[in-house]
């Protein structure tokens, strides 16, 4: 805190995100700081638009120091992805969702997920980078983490009361995930230009349209 370098770091350590796991050793703390710095820069400028020197500066250490924690640049990106991919961010919300009927369950899940993603809309950018600059090569690394909770959620839907239309459950799941993309991306894309009439109560309406779309009764 009182060294020159620590001071230098503090000027650039803006909007630091609370780490997923509180780091125990000093090495782990530096690693966490690096991941957080890299995340901010990747989100803002893309993978190839971010240099190792910028990451070092943002984290408050010298270029060479990075390589004590990561083998190369791509390893850093993978590290960020494994901690901050929107699918992972959203998982706790999905697991916490509750409801006796299909409608209340999905509505609760939707709003919990929005609350989680709404603060961190930026994380969608990580997904886009993964899609464009890595051709989605790393998503498979998360698959075994994501699959079991998703299956559990599917079972929760099946057990819930309420008349579902004749739609295969996998399609219900996929379109439920799609609901968020449809909302966030129309927001991101049209961003500043979007007429207010397309914004007021939009998520409410989106969820409503979706639920009315899969249920037999209003």
We find the least distance from the C-beta atom of residue 114 to a copy of itself, in angstroms, to be: 14
Site for a copy of itself in 60-119 (CB under 8 A): none
Residue with tokens 């639920």: 211
Query: Which one of 16, 20, 62, 96 is in contact with DNA (CB under 7 A)?
Result: 62
How many residues line the site for DNA (CB under 7 A)? 20
In eight-state DSSP terms, residue 62 is: -
In the bound state with a copy of itself, the residue whose beta carbon lies nearer, of 16 and 131, is 131
Each residue 11-40 as x (binds DNA by CB under 7 A) or -, in order, gives: ---------------xx--x----------
Is residue 138 involved in binding a copy of itself (CB under 8 A)? Answer: no
d(CA 5, CA 30): 13
Stretch that binds DNA, among 66-74, 175-183, 188-196, 207-215 (CB under 7 A): 66-74
Stretch that binds a copy of itself, among 2-10, 62-70, 91-99, 181-189 (CB under 8 A): 181-189
In eight-state DSSP terms, residue 164 is: B
Long-range Cβ pairs for the range 64-72 (8 Å, 24+): 65/30, 66/34, 68/27, 68/30, 69/27, 69/30, 69/31, 69/34, 70/31, 70/34
Residue with tokens 């190792």: 52
Is residue 141 involved in binding a copy of itself (CB under 8 A)? Answer: no
Site for a copy of itself in 13-52 (CB under 8 A): 43, 45-49
d(CA 43, CA 49): 10
d(CA 74, CA 71): 8
d(CA 155, CA 158): 5
d(CA 141, CA 85): 11
d(CA 47, CA 39): 10
In the bound state with a copy of itself, the residue whose beta carbon lies nearer, of 31 and 107, is 107
Sites of contact with DNA (CB under 7 A) = 5, 26-27, 30, 50-54, 61-65, 67-69, 72-74
Sites of contact with a copy of itself (CB under 8 A) = 43, 45-49, 125, 127-129, 131-133, 136, 139-140, 143, 165, 167-171, 173-175, 177-179, 181-183, 185-186, 188-195, 197-198, 200-202, 205-206, 208-214
């Amino acid at each position: 805190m009182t060294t020159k370098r620590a001071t230098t770091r503090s000027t650039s350590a803006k909007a630091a995100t609370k780490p997923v796991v509180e780091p125990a050793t000093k090495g782990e703390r530096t690693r966490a700081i690096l991941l957080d710095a890299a995340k901010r820069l990747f989100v803002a400028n893309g993978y190839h638009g971010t240099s190792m020197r910028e990451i070092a500066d943002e984290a408050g250490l010298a270029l060479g120091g990075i390589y004590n924690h990561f083998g190369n640049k791509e390893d850093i990106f993978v590290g960020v992805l494994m901690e901050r991919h929107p699918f992972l961010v959203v998982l706790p919300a999905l697991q916490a969702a509750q409801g006796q009927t299909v409608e209340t369950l999905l509505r609760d899940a939707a709003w919990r997920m929005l609350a989680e993603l709404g603060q961190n809309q930026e994380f969608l950018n990580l997904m886009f980078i993964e899609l464009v600059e890595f051709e989605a090569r790393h998503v498979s690394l998360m698959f075994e983490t994501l699959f079991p909770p998703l299956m559990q959620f599917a079972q929760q839907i099946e057990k819930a009361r309420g008349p579902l239309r004749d739609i295969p459950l996998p399609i219900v799941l996929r379109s439920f995930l799609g609901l968020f993309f449809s909302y966030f991306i129309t927001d991101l894309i049209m961003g500043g230009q979007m007429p207010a009439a397309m914004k007021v109560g939009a998520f409410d309406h989106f969820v409503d349209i979706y639920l009315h779309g899969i249920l037999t009764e209003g």
